[in-house]
Amino acid sequence: MSRPIELLSPAGNMDKLKMAIRYGADAVYCAGQAFGLRAGSANFNNEELKEAVEFVHAHGKKIYVTCNIIPHNEDLVGLEEYLQYLESIHVDAIIVADLGIFLLAKRVAPGLELHVSTQANTTNYLTTEFWKEQGATRVVVAREVSIKDIKTMRESADIEIEAFIHGAMCISYSGRCLLSNYFTTTRDANRGQCAQACRWKYSLVESNRPGEYYPIEEDQHGTYIFNSKDLCLLKHIPELYEAGVDSLKIEGRMKSVHYVATVTKVYREAIDTYLKEGKEWYVRDEWMEELEKISHRPYTEGFSVEKPDETAQNYGKSSNTQTHDFIGLVEGYNAEEGFAYMEQRNNFKVGDEVEFCQPHGALVHHVITKMTDENGEEITVAPHPQMKVRLYIDTPLETYSMMRRKCKNQ
């Protein structure tokens, strides 16, 4: 395989951004304090955005900033200056859904590359051609299109195609949702404040037929009829590559560091293995095992091959599941004395069976037999958040490895 394909990871804050790069992302996408669709994420102020650009570029990677709200007039205040600032710090592109923002960026910050957000609902080749003519360099296709349709769209116009391959799915058309607007007084989903009302528990009844409920199966948890499963297209990497997709995108700016790093590593290994093996490639069991360890809903292939049926929804509950907890971060390894410098992320103790997910190396299993505090005093438990610990282990560990432990209910 000769054509490169980009792995694009989410970055809700600086910590997640750096871990995404360290765990194999070719590019990251993030948002500033305004104009992005994830107001619930920490996001980046202007100085942090500058620092993020410098870090990413120092590693030879790319960074895209989302400006993908559907704005009302009052939302445009300060936008011109913000776009010019993004141009001045040399972000690699901005992701835009609204035609007005698109046109303003072309006028006031012509050096910015323009990527068309999935919020713009690009579902056909004519729209792809339109965005190419307007000056966009990339289109993020709607999640409602199949891989077959993506191939047609890619062939119709000389423009990059980005497609989601993993993460949360929206019940509405590529995120164009009004549930949050109606059920809350201030949270506009299309201006970055979605309350995820689709994850709530519902019963449906027609007003003229009181007591006659929507005929679906219901258990003791309730009925979550709008609650989509999470997208996972790991096994479709070959088809996406052959369809001409230029960038494979992971959803998750509001997810944890553990999620971002783990999913990025899995897809990095899967992509690199495919580019090496070609037709001999297959999905490794350990990749799917890793994707079960992070917080997620059950997986679906969405619209990738065919229109999803009723099995694409998660009717039983809205909460996520995971098999492992992230409990510590490796900050270095002392080879002479055989211990890892750890930062505590969750309570752990002597006797715990743990594993280390490394940025590049293999998974390492270990039973904790000895650890000390940062002063060298032996301890049996690390109970304090971000506590510095020396954990004795013979196997050298890469810096930024994540220490994990099976969840208690596993």
341 pLDDT band (50/70/90 cuts)? Answer: very high
| pLDDT score recorded for residue 223 | 47
Q: Which of 50-64, 219-233, 266-280 shows the lowest mean pLDDT across its residues?
A: 219-233
In the prediction, which pLDDT does 325 show?
95
Whether 327 shows a pLDDT value over 90: the answer reads: yes
The CB density around residue 136, as the number of other CB atoms within 10 Å, is 23
Q: What is the mean pLDDT of residues 51-75?
A: 95
**Integer Cα distance of 95 and 102 in angstroms:** 9
Cα separation, 344 vs 326, whole angstroms: 9
Strand partners, 299: 230
**Nearest-5° Cα angle at 37, 35 to 42:** 85
Please provide the distance, in angstroms rounded to a whole number, between the alpha carbons at the two ends of the chain: 40
Give φ, ψ of 342 to 5 degrees: -120, 145
What does pLDDT average to over the chain?
87
Q: How many residues does the chain have?
A: 410
How remote is the C-alpha of 355 from its chain's centroid? 23
- 54 confidence band (pLDDT: 50, 70, 90): very high
- The stretch 362-390 carries a mean pLDDT of 96
The domain 324-406: what is its CATH number?
A: 2.40.30.10
3-state secondary structure of 6: strand
Structure tokens at 318: 């809205």
Going by pLDDT thresholds of 50, 70 and 90, the confidence category of residue 196 is: low
The architecture of the domain spanning 6-170+228-303 is Alpha-Beta Barrel (3.20)
Q: Residue ranges of the domains in the chain?
A: 6-170+228-303, 193-226, 324-406
- Strand locations in 292-401 (E): 299-300, 324-334, 339-344, 348-349, 353-357, 364-367, 371-373, 378-379, 381-382, 388-392
Strand partners, 340: 333, 391
The answer to whether 150 and 141 are in contact (CB under 8 A) is yes
Q: Which helix (H) or strand (E) holds 148?
A: helix 147-156
Considering the entire predicted model, what is its pTM? Answer: 0.85
Q: Inform me whether the pLDDT recorded for 154 exceeds 80.
A: yes
Instruction: Say if residues 16 and 10 touch (Cβ distance below 8 Å).
Output: yes
Over the stretch 69-114, which tens digit does the pLDDT of each residue have? 888 898 899 999 999 999 999 999 999 999 999 999 999 999 999 9
CA 80 from chain centre, in angstroms, equals 28
Predicted confidence band at 192 (pLDDT cuts at 50, 70, 90)?
low
Is residue 68 predicted with pLDDT exceeding 50? yes
Q: Is the pLDDT of residue 218 over 50?
A: no
**Six-digit token string for 265:** 């590593």
The single-letter DSSP state of residue 197 is G
- Mean pLDDT, range 144-159, rounded to an integer: 93
DSSP state letters, 30-73? EE-SSSSS-TTS----HHHHHHHHHHHHHTT-EEEEEE-----G
Cα dihedral 106, 109, 113, 119, rounded to 10, equals: -60
Give the residue-averaged pLDDT of 292-320.
68
| Stronger pLDDT, 195 or 405, i.e. the higher one | 405
Q: Which residues of 378-395 are buried (b: 16+ CB within 10 A; e: fewer)?
A: eeebbeeeebebbbbbee
The model's pLDDT over 105-143, given as tens digits with 9 standing for 90+, comes to: 999 999 999 999 998 999 999 999 999 999 999 999 998
What is the C-alpha R_g of the chain? 23
Judge whether 6-170+228-303 and 324-406 match in fold. Answer: no
